[in-house]
Amino acid sequence: MNTNIAQTLSAGQSTFSVDTIRADFPILQQEVHGKQLVYLDNAATTQKPLSVITTLDDYYRHYNSNIHRGVHSLSEKATAAYEASRKKTKDFINAASTKEIIFVRGTTEAINLVAQSYGRSTLKPGDEIIISEMEHHSNIVPWQLLCEQTSAVLRIIPINDDGELIMEEYRKLLNEKTKIVAIVHISNALGTINPVKKIIDMAHAVNAVVLVDGAQAVAHTGVDVQALECDFYVFSGHKLFGPTGTGVLYGKQELLERMPPYQGGGDMIKMVTLKKTLFNDLPYKFEAGTPHIAGVIGLGAAIDYVTKTGLANISAWETALIQYATAESAKINGLRPIGTAKEKISILSFTLDKIHPHDIGTILDHEGIAIRTGHHCAMPVMEHFHVPATARASFAFYNTHAEVDRLLQGLKKCLEIFG
Ligand code: 7TS
C-alpha cells in the first residue's frame, strides 16, 4: 500500500499542502471511538474551515441584525456583508449579474422554486420534462409534483451499467414538447460527471430550458454558468464548506424577470395595499422573509476559502485520491464498485460480498471512519443496480492517501468479521 504519496502537489498557480489545509478544519482533529477521525461522508455534507466558523461567530457576536431594513449601523453592516456574499457567489460561478443570484435554503428549495414558479406558470398539459435515472430525489419529486399539477409528462434518460447517461436515448426523448430538462451535474450516488454542456446545447435546440443540479459539482470543479449557457444552476452551501440552510439558485435574468414569486412575504415587495402588491426587483423578488443571514455571510467565507485553495488544486488532489482508492479497492475480494463511469469524481460507491452496507458503516464507525450507507436519496439508481443500498466513501480536498488506506483496512476487517 502506498502511504508515501506526496502530501503536496503543484497545480495551477499555488502549491497545495494537505497538512496546511487540514489544520484549517478543527473538526478533523478529533478521535471517534478512540481512533483518529477519517471523515469520508463529504457528499452528504462537508466540514467547515475555521474562517467560516469565525465568520458566523463574528456576525452573532458583533453585528447580528436584520438586513435590507434598518438604517442603523449594525443592519447596514449585515446588509453589506450579505450582499458581498452575493457578489462572491456571482464571481464564483461567473454569473452575468448579482440579480441572477437568489439565496435559498439549499439545492432542494432551489429546484422546488424553479418547478413551482417557472414550471407551474409555463407548462401546459402534454408538455414534457426530462430528468435522468441517476437523479437525487430532490431532482425527481418536485417534477413529479409539477406533472400532477399541470398534466405535463415526465420522461427519463436511462443509464448504462457503468452509471453513465445513455445520450442516444436522451436524443430520442427530445422533441418540440420538451420544455424543461433537469439534470444532475455530478451524481451523488455514482460520482459520474455528466456532459452538461452537450445536454444543454441539445435541449436548447428544441427550445427547452435546462436546470443543472450542481450540488455535488461546485466543491470539486469550476463552474461557469455563462460558458455552460444553462438557464438555472443550483447548489447547497453546506456541500461547499459553508453553513447548512444556505443554497443558491442561479437563473438567467430574463427568465427570472418573467417568473412569478415563489413565496410571498417581507422583502419581496415594493408596495403592498390590501388589494394589490407590487413585487420587488431581482433578486429580492425571490427572497421572501428574513433569510439565513449569518449562513449566507458564512457561505461567502467558504467561497473565499475554496477560491484561495484553487479549484485546479482541489480537482488534481481529489483525482489522485479517487484513482488510488479505486485501484486499491479493486484488489479487495468481493468488492463490487457501483458507478464506474469514465468521467467520474470523488465518490467510491460499492457493495462488499454479502455484507449489508449498514453493517459496513457500523464496523467502520468503530474504526473512526465515517462513510455513508443507504440509498443516498437515489432509489432509482439502487433499482438499476439491483441493490437495496451501497456503502459510499466520498472525498474532499482535506482527505489523504493514508485515510484511503485506513478505509481499505476497515473493509478488510469487515470481511474478517463476516468470514
Ligand atoms: N442533489 C444532489 C446531487 C445531492 O447530492 C443532494 C444531497 C441534493 C440534491 C439535495 O441537497 P440539499 O442540500 O438540498 O439536501 N445529497 C446528499 C447525499 O448524497 N447524502 O446526503 C445528502
The per-residue pLDDT for range 108-124, each reduced to its tens digit, is: 999 999 999 999 999 99
Nearest to 380 by CA among 154, 45, 147, 108: 154
Report yes or no on 47 lying in a domain: no
Residue 4 sits at φ, ψ, to 5 deg, of -100, 10
Radius of gyration of the chain (CA): 22
Confidence (pLDDT) at 11 = 45
Do 145 and 160 reside in the same domain of the chain? Answer: yes
Q: Is 61 exposed, middle or buried (0-12, 13-18, 19+ CB in 10 A)?
A: exposed
Whether residue 48 is contained in a domain is answered as no
DSSP string, 82-140: HHHHHHHHHHHHT-S-GGGEEEES-HHHHHHHIIIIIIHHH--TT-EEEEETT--GGGT
What is the reported pLDDT for 69? 80
What is the number of domains present in the chain? Answer: 2
106 ligand 1 Cβ < 6 A:
yes
Distance 10 CA to ligand 1 centre (A): 31
Return d(Cα 196, Cα 309) in angstroms, integer. 25
Mark whether 184 and 282 lie in a shared domain. Answer: yes
Do 203 and 229 contact (CB within 8 A), yes or no? no
Alpha helix (H) residue ranges in 215-356: 225-228, 253-258, 293-309, 311-329
The CATH number given to whatever domain includes residue 370 is: 3.90.1150.10
- Assess whether 185 and 249 both reside in one domain: yes
pLDDT at position 9: 61
Cβ(346) to ligand 1 under 6 A? no
Residues 145 and 294 grouped into a single domain? yes
Residue 372 falls within a domain, yes or no? yes
For 385-402, what is each residue's pLDDT tens digit?
999 999 999 999 999 999
User: How many of the other CB atoms lie within 10 Å of CB of 33?
Assistant: 10
CATH code, domain carrying 295: 3.40.640.10
Q: Atom of ligand 1 at shortest distance to CA of 185?
A: 3
Q: Is residue 30 part of a domain?
A: yes
For the chain, what is the mean pLDDT?
Answer: 96
User: Is 153 part of any domain?
Assistant: yes
- What residues contact 237, with CB distance under 8 A and at least 6 apart? 106, 243, 244, 245, 246, 247, 248, 295, 296, 298, 299, 302
What pLDDT is stored for residue 14 in this prediction? 61
Pocket test for ligand 1, best of 132, 190, 239, 299 (most atoms within 8 A of CB): 239
Cβ proximity of 200 and 228 under 8 Å: yes
Q: Which residue positions in the chain have pLDDT lower than 50?
A: 1-6, 11-13
What gap in Å lies between CA 192 and CA 330, rounded to an integer? 18
Do 158 and 123 have their domain in common? yes
Note whether 172 and 185 are same-domain residues.
Answer: yes
Residue with CA nearest ligand 1 atom 17: 44
Tell me which of 284, 307, 330 is where a domain ends.
307
Q: Has residue 3 been placed in a domain?
A: no
Last residue of a domain, one of 307, 323, 346: 307
Residue 124 shares a structural domain with residue 61: yes
Q: In terms of domains, do 318 and 342 share one?
A: yes
Among the listed residues 86, 19, 49, 50, the one whose alpha carbon sits nearest the alpha carbon of residue 247: 86
Boundary of a domain, candidates 270, 291, 307: 307
Residue 263 domain boundaries: 53-307
What's the N-to-C CA distance of the chain in angstroms? Answer: 23
Do 138 and 101 fall within a single domain? yes
Amino acid at 181: V
Q: Is the overall model pTM greater than 0.95, yes or no?
A: yes
Taking CA atoms only, the protein residue closest to ligand 1 atom 18 is 44
> In terms of domains, do 31 and 88 share one?
no
With a 6 A CB cut-off, is 415 part of the ligand 1 pocket?
no
Provide the 3-class DSSP secondary structure of residue 200: helix
In a domain, 278, yes or no: yes
Same domain, 236 and 207: yes
Give distance in angstroms: CA of 214 to centre of ligand 1.
10
Query: What is the predicted pLDDT for the residue at 70?
Result: 78
